[in-house]
Structure 1
Amino acid sequence: MSPSPEVLTSLREFAARGRVLVALDFDGVLSPLVDDPSAARPLPEASAALERLVATTDVALVSGRDLDDLRACANPPAGVVLVGGHGTQSSLEGAAGGQSLSGAETDLLQRLGAALDEIAAGRDGVHVERKPMSAVLHTRRASRPDAESATQAALAGPATWDGVHALRGKEVVELGAVELGKGAGLLRLRERLTGEGPAVEAVLFAGDDVTDENAFTALSPEGGDLTVKVGDGETAAVLRVGSPVEVAELLNTLADLRP
């Protein structure tokens, strides 16, 4: 199945530009969503498309995952840039993406982890992940009552503390000791690539989660950027595809169109 006429027209216009950046969320975009995040893997068709695309185009994966976790699960082709931690980490800039925590931020991060541990305790399937800049409550494997109660406890409790930057995604609540946002990370990457060579004329970003809306709104469709929502739900994205299978088809079509 090929992309819809609307998507195909947009891809042709995007592909005709000079230097472009294709940036993609991982979970729910290149990989189907799974109960165990460590078991997520890209569809073979998506991996093949990245191999083809990176030969002509700047490609990045922009994820909420920690860089090491993203690298292990995505196993991207050489040349693909990784942006993790909701924009706070970059494979071009080191594990912390050029940021370091102050003493107060380090203390806050420890307190956030401890608070989420207390929320997860006694709720089967709820667990806490530590990242360099944030702590994350995962509820995908929990019963719906436990997932909802844990989420509400996090949002009503540590998410409200001074200095905390909260993001709510699909079955996760991420609490950062620094500002989080894929949009800012994506714009920093664009600036860096432009500073090292020809200007990046346009960016395509595809994402499925509510946390990806931050990146959609940071880009400019009027300026030639493309934003693609994967799946259902309200969105600021201009285009929509239904599933990771359709993302792989989109990427392979773009690889065909790129000179």
Structure 2
Amino acid sequence: MTKQNVLVSDTKSTFNMAIMPISNSPIFPRAAQKPPAAPGGYISISRKKLLKNLEINGEARINTWVDSMKASSPTHIKATPSLADHDQSSWIVRHPSALDMFEQIIDAAKGKQIVMFLDYDGTLSPIVDDPDRAFMSRPMRKTVRKLAMCFPTAIVTGRCRDKVYSFVKLAELYYAGSHGMDIKGPAKGSKYKKVSEGNGVLFQPASEFLPMIDEVYKQLVEKTKTTEGAKVENNKFCVSVHFRCVEEKKWSELAQQVKSVLKEYPKLRLTQGRKVLEIRPTIKWDKGKALEFLLESLGFANCTDVFPVYIGDDRSDEDAFKILRDRGQGFGILVSKFPKETSASYSLQEPAQVMDFLGRLVEWKGLSLGGQARV
């Protein structure tokens, strides 16, 4: 394969998706020709009307933005109308602990190829006030390294891919940054695909938006500098406006500042995570699409004996949870201390429990003598 840009038309979108291999590499054998087809759109949740009102092209009122900002905050989560009739005990029955159900999970995975997908913030690292200090602990890094020796492993995050790599520092993983809009395979050899030293493949379905994202980032930095505690982060293919350290009485002011910038960019849309407003291109691409892309790239697109596991803590991870439910393969694990509407099958409360779960998977693999989880 020669170095080139391959444009793939999305029949449900007015935009083209550019797939740009950065070197000759068999790691993604078919991916550079056709990304996996998947239904468009985002998962419906009980706050659907609030989220629709966040669209930049709409006539959303600022107080509606603020209501949704409150609803996404862990300190407000129990007061959300959608969860009024959900108590902790009934929720945990529907989404039991992945640690408590570990044997059942392993029984379902026996004889199948496990493929691991992991969010970063709130999953592999704790949520912190300063996003630049969301460091992974040494024990977690050691566990993830062992996990990647047992199963194909990808980190799928809203963060810039390069920034997450600087936190994780494991070259043997797959990285999907900017909510899956920036994907790269291992730069070094992989036991799952034979890759020459220094090779890798870059998949960027929103590359045409890079200049626009940079413009918006600079404008938001300038516009929000008067709001104490606000932090604007350039995640390459999306921009994140963090309000974790902003006083709640200032949220309306911050929402107005963001809206004043984005009203000039109809090709961008606003989504929301845990105390963060995220500006993304309007293409039909998300973490669920990234999961499907990686499965196809690994040769598991139409396999019945693959068992994908996705672990994440945020609203954007719901796109991946829903894909797994729709495929009827594997499952999602939501990381949360609070009951939430989710398409995940299981739950864990915090990164420490995620590490315990991953460690148990590694231990089980070591005891399986290589026969029950084909690698």
Same fold (TM over 0.5): yes
Cross-structure match for 1:99: 205
Determine whether 1:46 maps to 2:151. no
Determine whether 1:88 maps to 2:195. no
Q: SS state of the match for residue 215, structure 1?
A: helix
Counterpart AA for 2:355 = A
Residues 184-218 of structure 1: per-residue CA shift (max 9 Å, x gap)? 1111111101179x887121000001111111112
Cross-structure match for 1:133: 237
- Report the more deviating stretch, 108-117 or 123-132: 108-117
Cross-structure match for 2:106: 11
Determine whether 1:225 maps to 2:319. no
Q: 1:63 offset after TM fit, Å?
A: 0.7
Aligned partner of 1:109 among 195, 213, 221? 213
Q: SS state of the match for residue 311, structure 2?
A: strand
Determine whether 1:240 maps to 2:347. yes
Distance 1:41 1:145 in 2: 29
Distance 1:152 1:74 in 2: 35
Aligned partner of 1:185 among 290, 293, 302? 290
Distance 1:214 1:189 in 2: 15
Determine whether 1:26 maps to 2:133. no
Q: In 2 relative to 1, CA 7–235 (structure 1 residues): closer, same or farther, beyond 3 Å?
A: farther
TM-score by length of 2: 0.60
Distance 1:156 1:6 in 2: 48
Q: Is the 8 A contact 1:46 1:251 kept in 2?
A: no
Counterpart AA for 1:10 = I
Distance 2:296 2:151 in 1: 16
Q: Is the 8 A contact 2:300 2:306 kept in 1?
A: no
TM-score by length of 1: 0.85
- CA-based RMSD of the aligned residues comes to 2.7
Counterpart AA for 1:85 = S
Q: Is the 8 A contact 2:98 2:346 kept in 1?
A: no
Greater helix proportion: 1
Distance 1:52 1:188 in 2: 24
Distance 1:229 1:160 in 2: 35
Distance 1:31 1:106 in 2: 28
Distance 1:171 1:159 in 2: 21
Q: In 2 relative to 1, CA 151–170 (structure 1 residues): closer, same or farther, beyond 3 Å?
A: farther
- Report the more deviating stretch, 248-257 or 216-225: 216-225
Q: In 2 relative to 1, CA 85–199 (structure 1 residues): closer, same or farther, beyond 3 Å?
A: farther
Determine whether 1:251 maps to 2:358. yes
Q: SS state of the match for residue 194, structure 1?
A: coil
Q: SS state of the match for residue 220, structure 1?
A: helix
Q: Is the 8 A contact 1:126 1:147 kept in 2?
A: no
Q: In 2 relative to 1, CA 67–200 (structure 1 residues): closer, same or farther, beyond 3 Å?
A: farther
Counterpart AA for 1:59 = T
Distance 1:48 1:149 in 2: 43
Residues 14-48 of structure 1: per-residue CA shift (max 9 Å, x gap)? 2x233221010011011111111121122333222
Structure 1 runs not aligned, ≥5 long:
none
Residues 32-89 of structure 1: per-residue CA shift (max 9 Å, x gap)? 111111211223332222122212210111111111100111223x421111110001
Q: SS state of the match for residue 55, structure 1?
A: helix
Q: In 2 relative to 1, CA 202–146 (structure 1 residues): closer, same or farther, beyond 3 Å?
A: same
Structure 2 runs not aligned, ≥5 long:
1-96, 186-199, 371-375
Q: In 2 relative to 1, CA 107–80 (structure 1 residues): closer, same or farther, beyond 3 Å?
A: closer
Q: SS state of the match for residue 190, structure 1?
A: helix
Q: SS state of the match for residue 53, structure 1?
A: helix
Q: Is the 8 A contact 2:233 2:239 kept in 1?
A: yes
Q: Is the 8 A contact 2:98 2:333 kept in 1?
A: no
- Report the more deviating stretch, 62-71 or 86-95: 86-95
Cross-structure match for 1:166: 270
Distance 1:236 1:159 in 2: 32
Distance 1:194 1:67 in 2: 23
Q: Is the 8 A contact 2:181 2:206 kept in 1?
A: no
Distance 1:110 1:53 in 2: 36
Counterpart AA for 2:311 = A
Q: SS state of the match for residue 46, structure 1?
A: helix
